[in-house]
Amino acid sequence: MAETVLKGYCSRCGQERDMLDPAPLSMPARGASREAVQGVCAICGTHMFKILDEKSSYEQAH
């Protein structure tokens, strides 16, 4: 069974890259919080974030 690879934007590479070791987190936002995922770029090792839309969750994205 193939595992879904989560992708995010790497600011160092300047491109969308695969995210290694994704971990869910909650980021503060206007009066509430937003679900996000933190991980590491598979190419250069830079920390990267992906803010999820309000309709999805970490389980759906991963």
Query: What pLDDT, on a 0 to 100 scale, did the predictor assign at position 1?
Result: 44
Give pLDDT, residue 44: 95
> What parts of the chain have a pLDDT lower than 70?
1-3, 55-62
For 1-62, list the strands marked E by DSSP. Answer: 7-10, 15-29, 32-41, 47-51
Contact 60, 22 (CB under 8 A): no
pLDDT at 34: 87
pTM exceeds cut of 0.75: no
